[in-house]
Homo-oligomer: A and B are copies of this chain.
Amino acid sequence: MTRTASYHHGDLRQEAHQLALDTIRDQGDTAISLRALAKQLGVSAPALYRHFADRESLLAALAVSGFEELRERLLAVDQRVPRRALIDIGLVYVGFAQDEPNLYRLMFGGRVLPKGVHPKLDEAGHGAFKVLENTIARAQQVGYLKPMPVALMTAAAWSLVHGLAQLSIDGHLPGAKAEPLMAEGVLSLLLDGSLSDSESTSHKEIEQ
């Protein structure tokens, strides 16, 4: 902490990480330049290369931070009542994206994560994903959800919240004001279905 204004910086890696995180938060990833970061940190640009292989690795590290925070938020959801747990975890997910749109875009923009390039990133992403999956598995175990492959329901749930998140932060959902309500309604649809009563009465899976 006590910057001695000497040759060695002391904690460059973490300070760069933090500054980059702040920058990305309110300006997006395109605004991040290693040279600019270095200047703000009072250090030469190549110094950063001692701590990050390249620009993309830095961005990947930031994305990891994002996934970690997302995971923590998801873990904080009350799991006692299956329906509320499922709805709430969706709302928390979308809420994270709305709170940190630029970070969220970095995490899922497909710009950093061709999967396999940065193992730590894959791991962090999987960690967040796992929380969602566990919630679903639990709901199914107590008989709240239909018997079906967990992977199927997880894919559906993740797709829905991810799509909702992305469309929301890009301003593509009309009711900007009523969005929390909208989100809850959308999530409910995945649980309750959207067919009219006359179509869904009893089990009419085979209709041909």
| CB pair B156 A160 closer than 8 Å | yes
Q: Once the chains are docked, how many angstroms separate the CA of A195 from the CA of B170?
A: 31
A189 within 8 A of B: yes
Note all chain B residues with C-beta closer than 8 A to A83: 207
Quick one: which of A5-44 are within 8 Å of B by CB? 30
| Residue in B111, B152, B166, B193 whose CB lies within 8 Å of A186 | B152
Are A190 and B189 in touch, CB under 8 angstroms?
yes
Of the residues B146, B156, B182, contact of A190 by C-beta under 8 Å? B156
Label chain A's interface by main secondary structure.
Answer: helix
Q: Give chain A's interface residue range (CB within 8 Å of chain B).
A: 35 or more
Contact with B along A80-108 (1 / 0, CB 8 A): 00010000000000000000010001001
Whether the pair A156, B110 counts as a contact (CB closer than 8 A) is no
Which residues 178-208 of A have a CB within 8 angstroms of B? 182, 185-186, 189-200, 203, 205, 207
Query: Do B163 and A166 touch across chains, with their CB atoms under 8 A apart?
Result: yes
Picked from B153, B175, B205, the residue with its CB within 8 Å of the CB of A151 is B175
Q: Is the CB of B196 within 8 A of A144?
A: yes
For residue A134, CB closer than 8 A to chain B, the reply is no
Whether a CB of chain B sits under 8 angstroms from the CB of A63 is no
Query: Smallest CB-CB separation from A183: which chain B residue?
Result: B155
Which residues of B have CB within 8 Å of A197? 146, 203
**What are the 5 A-B residue pairs with the smallest beta carbon separation, nearest first?**
A193-B193, A163-B163, A159-B163, A162-B163, A159-B164
What residues of chain A have their CB less than 8 Å away from a CB belonging to chain B? 30, 83, 101, 105, 108-111, 113-115, 125, 129, 143-148, 151-153, 155-156, 158-164, 166-167, 169-175, 182, 185-186, 189-200, 203, 205, 207
